[in-house]
Chain A
Amino acid sequence: MAETVSGAEIQLENVTKRYPGTGEPAVKDFNMTIPAGKIVIFVGPSGCGKTTTMRMINRLIEPTSGTITIGGEDTLKLNADALRRKVGYAIQQAGLFPHFTVAQNIAVVPGLLDWEKKKIGDRVDEMMDLVGLDPSVYRDRFPRQLSGGQQQRVGVARALAADPPVLLMDEPFGAVDPITRGNLQDELLRLQLELRKTIVFVTHDFDEAVKLGDKIAVLGDQSTIQQFDTPEAILANPANDMVAGFVGAGASLKQLTLLRVRDVNYHDNALTVVAPDSSPAELRKQMSEQGKTYALVLDARRRPQRWVHVRDLSTASSLATVGRPVGDNVSTQSTLQDALEAILSEGGNAVVTGSRGEYVGTIDIETVTNTIQQLRDEHDAGSAAS
């Protein structure tokens, strides 16, 4: 991998948590390897033990038995406070200290680690820039003077301030409105592209899990792992009824958000013609030769302009005005969901464009359905083999 991974691998082995006076353990024999630099999402119903499992990683809850290692180091052998300074921690509603300013909140962990004053000040500004808060405006504000989304950003900045290899996030975006949540999720993904931390993220929102996770662990009662796989694999082939129930309706539609047009076999055999270089008569001849009823007219820079039906050509004088204009098109970067939207609004076929807006092919509904089918078959075969 070209990017530097600053994260560390986390390993949980036979981890059990049993509270005194209860019959069944809250977490039973949990085994998982969380790869360095990846986002792993724990998702499951309330009370399944997902938060308990996460909190055992930084020993906010001490495991009853089992071992947890971070980057090969046994966490149970470290001083718990020292361990927590090396593991970023962000929670719902941010848990900011209301009597500290934004800067003081972010500076807490570097302060605990005895960084120099100057270095802490620089780091605070750097972190505020990173999460998109202008230091000159927000440095001396108190948490109650911020919106929910801004508080959440400060929470993330505080968790990352001492550059920990591991970040634990407990439903960090649970208490903000859906639009802000979407923005925060996008920002986390952008940050992660740069930082490459190992992130354990707890949520009960499966859509959030699909959007953020490199891998998703669907957890059942006592934190038993129902399925631990990529979002694509879980959507294509839920391991059991519980997972299927959690994935919920619309699994195929959710899958479309994970795939890009460039990843699928779109067509590139449409008959195209560059408008200034050709005439209606020439195009008509070409179409009858190739047995096509539709053609796509491009401009001089090969950008799609108009759809033309063969019968439009008999009365047309110029290719610049014939047929109907191309409406929605999609780029190779678009998700299949966007492509499907374009296909539906364009009536069966959407034009695919490259990075400079030039024609590269067309995509139709059959391509989309085939892709979904193919994914299912792959994951079916995969699970049958394993």
Chain B
Amino acid sequence: MNLLDYVADRWDRLSLQAWLHVSEVVQSTLIAAVIGVLIGVAVYRSPIGSAVATALASTILTIPSFALLGLLIPVFGLGAVPTVIALVLYALLPITRNTIVGLAGVDPAISDAAKGIGMNRVSVLTRVELRLAWPAILAGMRVSTQMLMGIAVIAAYAKGPGLGSEVFSGLTRAGSANATNQALAGTLGVVILALLLEGVYFLIARFTISRGIRG
């Protein structure tokens, strides 16, 4: 059986796994975006706070994903929970760092003008500073999403949902019928989904970044 036949034959299961894969990555990215932006907003005015937040997020990224999942399983058991926690932690660094860089890069004269004409602190942040930092934040989310697509494969180790289970099961059954097809279908599926998400990000950027600041 060649790869195409295999995919056609197992389409129901593969498409469900693909959907779960995208779903967990997108949800983890969104959770990480909320946390990362909040952290960024909390620390961007303080150089020390910014350095600490960036260093912590970097440290998380240096933990191998296998090890992190291994540490989470005893606490949270198997399944979706440890997977999402791990993915969120990995997604934090690009988003937090880009939020800090984006907010710190807003011309102080613009923030001063916003305050000077009577915007309160929250308005200055939400209507001006975050809007100007948005391209950087979105870029951070995009990097996180791409990274998570790969890491989510590893999460199959913790019995998380997604195409990872195809890859793992194919690899462990190496030599038996359709083992290569199964591993390949999982891997290529991840690549195709990553490219699709890339396209989605392009559209989001197109519609949410003001023409006045689009590069």
**A98/B117 in contact, CB under 8 A:** no
Q: Give bound CA distance, A100 to B113, whole Å.
A: 14
CB within 8 Å for A99 and B210 given contacts A60-B112, A91-B112, A92-B109: yes
CB within 8 Å for A142 and B211 given contacts A97-B128, A98-B132, A99-B132: yes
**B116/A84 in contact, CB under 8 A:** yes
A297 within 8 A of B: no
Chain A residues, CB < 8 A from B213:
98-99
CB within 8 Å for A81 and B212 given contacts A95-B109, A98-B132: no
**B131/A99 in contact, CB under 8 A:** yes
Q: Which of B87-130 contact A (CB under 8 A)?
A: 107, 109-110, 112-120, 123, 128
A85 to chain B, nearest CB (A): 3
CB within 8 Å for A84 and B117 given contacts A91-B109, A97-B128: yes
B110 to chain A, nearest CB (A): 5
Q: Which of A73-108 contact B (CB under 8 A)?
A: 81-86, 88-89, 91-101, 108
- Partner of B116 from A89, A99, A112, A144 at Cβ < 8 Å: A89
Chain B residues, CB < 8 A from A168:
116
**A109/B117 in contact, CB under 8 A:** yes
Q: Which residue of A lies closest to B108 (CB)?
A: A95
**B119/A108 in contact, CB under 8 A:** yes
Task: Convert A344-357 into 0s and 1s, putting 1 for each residue whose CB lies closer than 8 angstroms to a CB of B.
Answer: 00000000000000
**B109/A93 in contact, CB under 8 A:** yes
Chain B residues, CB < 8 A from A89:
113, 116-117
A58 within 8 A of B: yes
Chain A residues, CB < 8 A from B107:
95
A94 to chain B, nearest CB (A): 8
Chain B: residues with Cβ within 8 Å of the partner, total of: 20
Q: Give bound CA distance, A82 to B120, whole Å.
A: 9
CB within 8 Å for A158 and B211 given contacts A91-B112, A95-B112: no
Chain A residues, CB < 8 A from B128:
97, 99
Q: Give bound CA distance, A108 to B116, whole Å.
A: 12
* Count of chain A to chain B residue pairs whose CB atoms are closer than 8 Å in the complex: 70
Q: Give bound CA distance, A190 to B210, whole Å.
A: 35
Q: Which residue of B lies closest to A84 (CB)?
A: B118
Q: Give bound CA distance, A9 to B115, whole Å.
A: 23
B130 to chain A, nearest CB (A): 10
**B212/A108 in contact, CB under 8 A:** no
**B210/A100 in contact, CB under 8 A:** yes
**A81/B119 in contact, CB under 8 A:** yes
Q: For A58, A85, A91, A95, which residue has the most chain B Cβ atoms within 10 angstroms?
A: A95
Q: Give bound CA distance, A254 to B5, whole Å.
A: 91
A143 within 8 A of B: yes
**A143/B117 in contact, CB under 8 A:** no
Q: For B110, B118, B132, which residue has the most chain A Cβ atoms within 10 angstroms?
A: B118
Chain A residues, CB < 8 A from B114:
95, 97
CB within 8 Å for A60 and B118 given contacts A99-B212, A142-B210: no
Q: Give bound CA distance, A266 to B132, whole Å.
A: 61
**B212/A112 in contact, CB under 8 A:** no
Chain A residues, CB < 8 A from B211:
142
Chain A residues, CB < 8 A from B212:
98-101, 142-144
A159 within 8 A of B: yes
Q: Which residue of B lies closest to A60 (CB)?
A: B116
A-to-B contact residues, CB < 8 Å: 58, 60, 81-86, 88-89, 91-101, 108-109, 112, 142-144, 158-159, 168
6 interchain residue pairs of minimum CB distance: A95-B113, A142-B212, A85-B118, A99-B210, A89-B116, A84-B118
A-B contact pairs, 28 of them (CB 8 A): A60-B112, A60-B115, A60-B116, A81-B120, A84-B115, A84-B117, A85-B118, A89-B116, A89-B117, A91-B112, A95-B107, A96-B110, A96-B113, A97-B113, A97-B128, A98-B132, A98-B210, A99-B128, A99-B132, A99-B210, A99-B212, A100-B210, A100-B212, A109-B117, A109-B118, A112-B118, A142-B211, A158-B117
B-to-A contact residues, CB < 8 Å: 107, 109-110, 112-120, 123, 128, 131-132, 210-213
Q: Taking A88-B117, A98-B110 as given, write out 7 further A-B residue pairs in contact, using a Cβ cutoff of 8 Å, ordered by the A residue number.
A: A58-B116, A60-B116, A82-B118, A84-B116, A84-B118, A89-B117, A108-B119
